[in-house]
Structure 1
Amino acid sequence: MSRVRIATAVATLSLVSGVSACGNGSGNGTDRDGAAGAGTNATPRAQAVQDAYRKTVAADGARMTVTSEAVAEGQKVTAYGDGVVDLENGASRMTVTSQGSRIEQRVVDGTLYQKPSGSQRAELPGGKSWMRVDLERLARSGSAGRTRASDPAEPIGYVKDVRAADVTRVGEETVDGTAVTRYRVKVPVSALAKGDAAQAAELSRQLGSATLPVDLWLDGQGRMRQERVRMSLKPLAQRAPGREDTRVTSTTVLKFSDFGTDVNVTPPPAADSADVTDRLLKSGTSTVRTG
């Protein structure tokens, strides 16, 4: 492919960006039924999912892998990331491989840094080595429904305020040799839109639904060992006659292990990074050319 989405390289493929959803370790969310995460009104299955956010964040650091696949018009884009994440404040450090390109990536204080390789580096001005993206500015841009660069750990927070009616217990399984319990959750699109009604409405239009299917695998201590987010999206722009129903489908899988891992992530030197946030906002997409 001639273009690789930054969001794919980040390995989230989410439609709405924002600062880290796991940056609040309090776990005091309230679901739409009015039952707090630690309340008594939630069903056991909903309680388990609500508590999973709090227990996962309480583990501090962990090793994280992210695998993403997006398919559109018969073309497939894949990405694989491996690294560590501070589950409390959302800082992460990963190496991402996508479409033959290898990218070093960091997220610190709501800012995404990527160090591209090969021909991608030629697009950076002044011989700089890193791209810098302000995730909060992207979140405030109001460009509802556009694929954006985003925090790879963001999906952790999607499930912290779920309704009891939206949680199904699937059963017992194993993930990488660890016994887990699998749950299926219908996540409201408002959880992705961070309260932006326009973004939530556009995302609902593209999905054809007000909810997003998310699968969770929780270990014996109630922590997330695996999370899978699936999307099937209608196109943003009008297609040629006969292709109006073309959709983009994506699947993103996050895995967590080695809880308690020490994570120390620092931003690259300011003099060696170029801010590309304005370029993304002006273009209306989150893409960079790869040749």
Structure 2
Amino acid sequence: MRSRGMKAVAIGVAAVMASVVLTGCGGDDEPASEKAGASATGGAGAQEQGTTQVRSAYDKTTEAETAKVTINMKLSAQGETITTEGKGALDFEEGDSVMTVTADGKSIEQRVVEQVLYQKVPGQKVQGGKTWMQIDLKKAAQSQGLNGQQIGDPARSAAYAKAITDKDVTKIGEDKIDGVDTTHYKVSVDVARLPNGTQLRRQVGPTLPMHVWLDGDGRLRRQQLDMTVKAPASTSAKPDNSASPQQIKMTMVMNYSDFGTEVEAEAPPTGQVADVTDEAMQQGQEQQS
């Protein structure tokens, strides 16, 4: 079915972009005087302060090591829309997570361990009667033309911070998130300044738009990403549409709470797992043709 194919196409993109939002835009080791950016001169004190807070927010959040997280994501392509909701816990440093995901009216048990996604649908068997399926997120991401090395790599965070300057940060106002006072900022990241920015620019355009809400400790409480991602055209695509890669519109909202919570992300027993990475990528290619 085409909807299954669209899900397969979307999974690599969604996995990479979720990771970019999680690990991107973190702090670096530059002195504060160098962090402000070129437009900080001339008395733009409030603007500079907002930029500094946003650039340091990811470091301050990851210092908590873990948190509870909820994710609401909507993916749309070729007239189809997939909405998913997730609730669980995340290890910021390792990139591992445990989550219950609700999609198409089904509740799915999900784990991410060392860049491998494991999913279990109650009452459903996969290849060989196994109860869990696994998808190599790094391999799936690379099949979509994105650099899988960006997945869960905290070492990349400094590079994302350097891609944010004063002109990229706008303070929107004050909001309450789950009863917590927060400051809302709109952020626009220059994609060309990111690692492998030329390649990523072809997928998402010149800028990466985000909204972030920071609490009184400078940590993330909410972040929202609205964007259009171009999936690469299949080699088997018809001549009349081969020059028009599929576009996936994505909206993702992530909320963080209970910092320091325990995260127990373990891979299921090998005998219970079927690797469906190749099948998922094949379905994605068929959807683009």
Normalised by the size of structure 1, how large is the TM-score?
A: 0.74
Contact 2:203 2:230 in 1 (8 A): no
Aligned residues: percent identity?
34
Q: Residues 30-49 of structure 1: matches in 2 within 5 Å?
A: 36=30, 39-41=32-34, 42=36, 43-49=48-54
Q: Relative to 1, partners in 2 of residues 1:18 and 1:87: Cα closer, same or farther, differing over 3 Å?
A: closer
Q: Is it true that 1:107 corresponds to 2:106 in the alignment?
A: no
SS at match of 2:262: coil
Which residue number in structure 1 is paired with residue 138 of structure 2?
Answer: 136
Which residue number in structure 2 is paired with residue 125 of structure 1?
Answer: 127
Deviation at 1:170, TM superposition (A): 1.1
CA radius of gyration, larger in: 2
Q: Residues 208-219 of structure 1: matches in 2 within 5 Å?
A: 209-219=205-215
User: Once superposed, what is the RMSD of the aligned Cα atoms?
Assistant: 3.8
Q: Residues 165-184 of structure 1: matches in 2 within 5 Å?
A: 165-184=167-186
Q: Where does structure 2 lack aligned partners over 5 or more consecutive residues?
A: 37-47
Contact 1:19 1:135 in 2 (8 A): no
Q: Is it true that 1:277 corresponds to 2:268 in the alignment?
A: no
Which residue number in structure 2 is paired with residue 249 of structure 1?
Answer: 249
Q: Relative to 1, partners in 2 of residues 1:45 and 1:196: Cα closer, same or farther, differing over 3 Å?
A: closer
How many residue pairs get aligned? The number is: 262
Q: Residues 146-225 of structure 1: matches in 2 within 5 Å?
A: 160-161=161-162, 162-189=164-191, 194-195=195-196, 197-198=198-199, 200-204=200-204, 209-225=205-221
Q: Output the CA distance in 2 between the equivalents of 1:260 and 1:136.
A: 27
SS at match of 2:261: coil
SS at match of 1:55: helix
SS at match of 1:59: coil
Which residue number in structure 1 is paired with residue 39 of structure 2?
Answer: none
Normalised by the size of structure 2, how large is the TM-score?
A: 0.75
Q: Relative to 1, partners in 2 of residues 1:139 and 1:280: Cα closer, same or farther, differing over 3 Å?
A: same
Which residue number in structure 1 is paired with residue 98 of structure 2?
Answer: 93
Q: Is it true that 1:231 corresponds to 2:227 in the alignment?
A: yes
Which residue number in structure 2 is paired with residue 33 of structure 1?
Answer: none
Partner residue of 2:83 out of 57, 78, 86: 78
Deviation at 1:160, TM superposition (A): 3.7
Contact 1:7 1:286 in 2 (8 A): no
